[in-house]
Chain A
Amino acid sequence: MEIFANLALGFGIALSPFTLALAVAGCFLGTIIGALPGLGPSNGVAILIPLTFTMGLDATSALVLMTSVYYGAMYGGRISSILLNIPGDEPALMTTLDGYPMARQGRAGDALVLSGVASFVGAFLATVGLMLLAPMLARVAYLFGPAEYFALYLLAFCTLGGMASNNQAKAALASCIGLGIAMIGVDSSSGLPRLTGGNLHLYDGIDFLVAIVGLFAIAEVFFFIESHGKGSSIGVKLDKVRIPWKDIMDTKWTMLRASGVGFIAGILPGAGASLGSFLAYMSEKSIAGEKGGFGTGVAKGVAAPEAGNNSAAGGALVPMLTLGVPGSGTTAVLLALLMTLNITPGPTLFTERPEVVWGLIASLLIANVVLLLMNVPMVKIFVKVLMVPAWVLLPGVTMISFVGIYSLSGSYFDLLLMVGFGVLGYILRKLDIPTVPVILGILLGGNMEDALRRAMVLSDGDAMFLFSTPIAVGLWIAAIAGFVAPMFLRGVLKKPPAITD
């Protein structure tokens, strides 16, 4: 079996004592990052990328560390959902619907352990799915020429825009802001500067890390100043934590189904973990029917979104690794990490650098087991972390962001840009304009333009070449459908209202 040989290669890399220690540290850090309200996985990974870069870790170690943080943050998001009724990150929103009522019934410990197990099942199955599906998709990806890639990038922007916002025009505008920023700098094929306004600092272009940290972390500080850090105190007491075997056994089919739904949602480019947890919760709710009592604090309502969310997080890695097109905000940040480490995702990654792919997959499996072992007995420690007041946490996050970005280039210009992106992020989020398409635009803008230009060179300027193969036509149709369909499905896909006290 080829898979086992590959896995052995991966574990050979990921099981050294140093990388294991990194995985444990990453999981711990990630869970904390995920648990703290306002510090989601995208945020946390973005702040840590420049720091790992300056610590001089090699590519594999950095990848192990950051994927552990990523998976850890996906686990951690549930803690504040259940105890505070505040989702630690966007995908954890659905967990508040049943998790918080369950905690108010005095079963906070049960909800935390159950959601931890559900997260494990979801993430584990998704990693297995990734192992099986990614090499197959990588073989298909060899058929992709520049025309197909252009259509694929378009598909990512269209579906992400369609899902992420309530207003198509706003989502498309966000993508354009990102793409427009990506154009700044020296043009890769002619070597001449573009749109720099003569500013020497802009000749290298705008670093996507500066934009990510600004839009996510700095903007968050402004939101906390606006709300004066309210709503970050614990309202629910956590008693003794036991393992609720009965609940786990009762929800085993729910977890399996939710993992499948979540994985498929995660694979769709641009859809991501939020859609995964949403679909998993809604499908389980309709299977259980009226008598299921979803929304009143039932075990299935906690297990389904957590399994779906973590499974989608694994599924989102499939298009990111094989095609270089991220499926969600956090995978966009992971793509940024790979690009920083000089690793280009795509079909060639599987043949040319198998050690990176399989090392990553092995470290995902390790991180998963570490997280399960860590989360059940240590959940009390993570709950303590939630007590850190916002007026210490947010200034700390700001300072870490500054040092991280400053250590990239040592220039005050990047820091000013970062503050500028923070202000932009605040305004965009206030106006309900999604910020993830901006990031995706900055990350993929250069590649998208290159694909278009290469396609035009091949066809000598004939625009019909973009629709010349069945794959390309299919992607165009999917892109248009993904952009238009949510306008009509909005009534069906409406999110259930959050529980209020």
Chain B
Amino acid sequence: MASDRIFGLVTLFVALAYIASATQIQTSFLTDPVGPKAFPMLIGAVAALCSLVMIIKPDPDPDWPAARTWGALAVAVVVLIIYAFTLKPFGFVIPTIAAAGILSYQISPRPVAAALSGLGLSIGLYVLFKYALGLSLAGFPKGWF
């Protein structure tokens, strides 16, 4: 009950904000009968209506994971964000060992197996991308080799 209501409330606000920002769209002097504002506003209105229905008639709650699993999921998201930022400056191999290892540990908490799968995936995929598929992928930080 509660999760549908919360999600409905969030999407309702997003939809209203979307409509509000759609009213701010610049129109050019060359315009058609519909213009660039109408369709986004229509979408926002339908979304707001759906959100209201979700708030009024919520479905039963799904099985949300326990607090510890939420922690693991948050760690995974943070790792992926850091990975996105480090992929360019540090090359493929080193960030991938870390990120793949940590993700593997989150799925099955065995440190040695996780570290090995991180190392194996990183090197294996690098060889696959670089030599088998011929992608121009920087493997290591600039100036190492």
Q: Which A residues touch B125, using CB under 8 A?
A: 396, 399-400, 403
> Interface of chain B, helix or strand or loop or mixed?
helix
CB A203 to nearest CB in B, in angstroms, measures 13
**Complexed CA–CA distance, A224 and B104 (Å):** 10
12 contacts between A and B (CB under 8 A): A169-B50, A183-B39, A192-B26, A226-B69, A389-B108, A391-B110, A391-B114, A394-B107, A395-B121, A398-B103, A399-B122, A457-B33
Interface assignment of B135: CB less than 8 Å from any CB of chain A:
yes
Determine if A396 and B77 form an interchain contact, defined as CB atoms under 8 angstroms apart. Answer: no
CB A270 to nearest CB in B, in angstroms, measures 17
Instruction: List chain B positions with a Cβ less than 8 A from chain A.
Output: 3-4, 7, 11, 15, 18, 21-22, 25-28, 30-36, 39-40, 43-44, 46-47, 50-51, 53-54, 57, 59, 62, 64-65, 69, 72-73, 76-77, 80-81, 83-85, 87-88, 92, 96, 99-101, 103-110, 113-114, 117-118, 120-122, 125, 129, 133-135, 137
> Interface of chain A, helix or strand or loop or mixed?
helix
**Complexed CA–CA distance, A85 and B16 (Å):** 44
Interface assignment of A177: CB less than 8 Å from any CB of chain B:
yes
Determine if B27 and A402 form an interchain contact, defined as CB atoms under 8 angstroms apart. Answer: no
Instruction: List chain A positions with a Cβ less than 8 A from chain B.
Output: 51, 54-55, 166-167, 169-170, 172-173, 176-177, 179-180, 183, 187, 189-195, 197, 218, 221-222, 224-226, 228-229, 389-392, 394-396, 398-400, 402-403, 406-407, 410, 412, 415-416, 418-419, 422-423, 426-427, 430-432, 448-449, 452-453, 456-457, 460-461
Determine if A187 and B36 form an interchain contact, defined as CB atoms under 8 angstroms apart. Answer: yes
Q: Which A residues touch B105, using CB under 8 A?
A: 391
Contact among B39, B87, B104, B113 for A415, CB-based, below 8 A: B87
CB B128 to nearest CB in A, in angstroms, measures 9
Determine if B40 and A194 form an interchain contact, defined as CB atoms under 8 angstroms apart. Answer: yes
CB A367 to nearest CB in B, in angstroms, measures 21
Q: Which B residues touch A225, using CB under 8 A?
A: 69, 72-73, 76, 103, 106-107
Contact among B27, B34, B76 for A456, CB-based, below 8 A: B34
CB B102 to nearest CB in A, in angstroms, measures 9
**Complexed CA–CA distance, A172 and B96 (Å):** 38
Name the residue on B nearest A433 (C-beta).
B7
Name the residue on B nearest A448 (C-beta).
B39
Determine if A190 and B31 form an interchain contact, defined as CB atoms under 8 angstroms apart. Answer: yes
